[in-house]
Structure 1
Amino acid sequence: MKDLGLWQQFFYYFQHNGMYILGKFNQHFLISIEGVLLAALVGIPIGALIAHYRRLSNPVIQLANLIQTIPSLAMLSILMLGLGLGDQTVITTIFLYSLLPIIQNTYTGLRNTSPAVLDASKGMGMTKWQQLWMVEIPLSVSVIMAGIRNALVVAIGVTAIGAFIGAGGLGDIIIRGTNATNGGAIILAGALPTALMAIVSDLVLEGVQKLVSPKGLSES
């Protein structure tokens, strides 16, 4: 294998370790998506809350922004002290990093809902809860999805770093390549699928974003 060129080595490694790479790919994606989904379950309600109680918006967003400024490796190291090695620490890190884009986009989307539309829904006898679920969130879903897309792309990169604390995923292959004498091809075998995952995930979510957006907004 040493006598082959870099790309020949890459295809050789991929050919002989395809199932191993696929397993790491699946593990990587599941870790990333789990952290983002947890953040969405928490972040969207928080974003809706601060959109209706604006005095809470600055401290909440500033706190989420403060978390975002902590380097990912430092965050992993800090959480590892309490959660130990493994994927739970990485999922928690992804959860924390994903809060800012999801909360901020939810807040922005709901705050930008047309007052005329809200007045019309209020005139129809809707409660505030009905306004939120039947009017505000459907009109803001495109902005909210944009925050989730951003969070997932970041999460995929964080998961790769998480291999340093035993979380697995494609980062394991990258680390194996850095420890090998001629590991360029092995590094590519981990890095290229990671990049592909980020690109494809973003494109898929973009399609979902267009699908769930109200037709009038998506066409404008």
Structure 2
Amino acid sequence: MSTATSETVDTQAEAAVEEEEKKQGTFARLWFQHYDLVILPMIVILLLLFLFLYVGTRDLDTIEVRVLAFDNVQGLLAQHLYLVLISTILVLVIAVPVGILLSRRSARRLQGPVLAIGGFGQALPPFGVLLLMAFAFSFGPTTAIVGLTLAALLPVLRNTVIGLQQVDQSLIEAARGMGMTSRATLFRVEVPLAVPVIVAGLRVALVLNVGTATLASYIGAGGLGELVQQALRLNRINVLLVAGGIIAALALLIDWLAGVAERIVVTRSG
């Protein structure tokens, strides 16, 4: 009786050890796959903490205090996020349907010229494009949004085309063999499989928009670029450092959020 009990205890202990090793292996695998999603927000927090401590330990003059006031920074941040959000939505509304159209067999002859024009447009200096558009049309947020949309259009457009082209042809043929129409095959098979690639392009577009939106202040559209302008105009290094830190933290944070969304989409698609 005691021998059987001892064997049972040993078996349970071995099972517990195996279960613990399995949990550790799962944790290690998840950490290896997603460690950047943990490290990146920590970098953002440390950066913001450094800025807070830096400002708190400096003897700021009245001009710096006024420029770095919470209400002023908050208002400029809201303007910056507005420019990024609206332009990104426009990029999705324009680039995804055009990318789908270019991936169709009937329009593939246009694919090369359209992507080439998009690449040429993206190669142009964003600052020069925004200024030319402002002088040609008007200064303000509307022109800035149009410029940001054009600047970030290519990554989403190209990834939409590539994602749809990479869909396994046998899956498309199987869907058609089940009686699906071309439209149903596109939206129920091709697009869902291409979504991870499209989201990756959207992530690039978001980060581009955050950086380029800083230039929108030069055409009267507001945003965090106002802090940079004020720092340069008033020759205030403290303001310039804080402005650069906030813009970098915002870009890292948005890249992190887009990365989380991308991992979720890839996991569900897989």
Fold shared by both chains (TM-score > 0.5): yes
For the residue of structure 1 that corresponds to 2:58, the secondary structure is helix
The equivalent position to 2:192 in structure 1, one of 129, 135, 138, is: 138
Q: CA deviation at 1:82?
A: 2.8
Taking only the aligned residue pairs, the percentage that are identical comes to 28
Residue 204 of structure 1 aligns to a residue whose secondary structure is helix
Instruction: Report the secondary structure of 1:9's partner residue.
Output: coil
Residue 109 of structure 2 is aligned to residue 60 of structure 1 = no
Question: Who is 2:173 aligned against?
Answer: 119
Secondary structure class of the residue paired with 1:126: coil
Kept in 1, the 8 Å contact 2:67–2:227? The answer is no
1:185 corresponds to 2:238 = yes
Q: TM-score, normalised by structure 1?
A: 0.89
Q: Distance in 1 between matches of 2:210 and 2:71?
A: 20
Q: What is residue 46 of structure 1 aligned with on the other side? A: 98
Contact 1:76 1:93 in 2 (8 A): yes
1:16: how far off?
A: 6.1
Q: TM-score, normalised by structure 2?
A: 0.73
Asked whether the 8 Å contact 2:148–2:212 carries over to 1, the reply is yes
Give the Cα separation in 1 of the matches to 2:207 and 2:255: 7
Is 1:175 equivalent to 2:229 in the alignment?
A: yes
Matches within 5 A, 1:54-133: 54-133=108-187
Given that 1:161 and 1:171 are in contact with CA atoms closer than 8 Å, whether structure 2 keeps it comes out as yes
Write the distance in 2 (CA, Å) between the matches of 1:33 and 1:77. 21
Q: CA deviation at 1:157?
A: 1.2
Cα separation, partners in 2 of 1:70 and 1:216, compared to 1, 3 Å: closer
Is 1:206 aligned with 2:206?
Answer: no
64 and 13 in structure 1: CA distance in 2 versus 1, 3 angstrom threshold: same
TM superposition shift of 1:153: 0.8
Alignment deviations for residues 48-68 of structure 1 (CA, whole Å, 9 cap, x no partner): 111113211101101111111
Give the CA deviation at 1:13: 4.4
Is 1:159 aligned to residue 208 of structure 2?
no
Q: Contact conserved, 2:196 with 2:269, CA < 8 A, in 1?
A: no
Specify whether residues 178 and 129 from structure 1 end up closer, same or farther in structure 2 by C-alpha distance, changes over 3 A only.
Answer: same
CA distance in 2, matches of 1:134, 1:23: 42
Query: Would you say the 8 A contact 1:38–1:95 is kept in 2?
Result: yes
Q: Which runs of 5+ in 2 are unaligned?
A: 1-52
Of residues 43, 58, 80, the one that matches 1:9 is 58
Shift of 1:6: 6.3
5+ residue gaps, structure 1? none
Equivalent pairs counted in the alignment come to: 212
Amino acid at match of 2:102: I
Cα separation, partners in 2 of 1:14 and 1:180, compared to 1, 3 Å: closer
Larger Rg: 2
For the residues of structure 1 that align with 2:67 and 2:151, how far apart are their CA atoms?
Answer: 35
RMSD of aligned Cα (Å): 2.1
Residue 21 (structure 1) aligned to one of 60, 73, 96: 73
Retained in 1: the 8 A contact 2:67–2:239?
no
> After superposition, what is the alpha-carbon deviation per residue over 1:115-168, rounded to whole angstroms, capped at 9, x for unaligned?
111111111111111111111111111110111111111111111011111110
1:10 positional shift? 8.9
CA–CA distance in structure 1, aligned partners of residues 86 and 249 of structure 2: 19
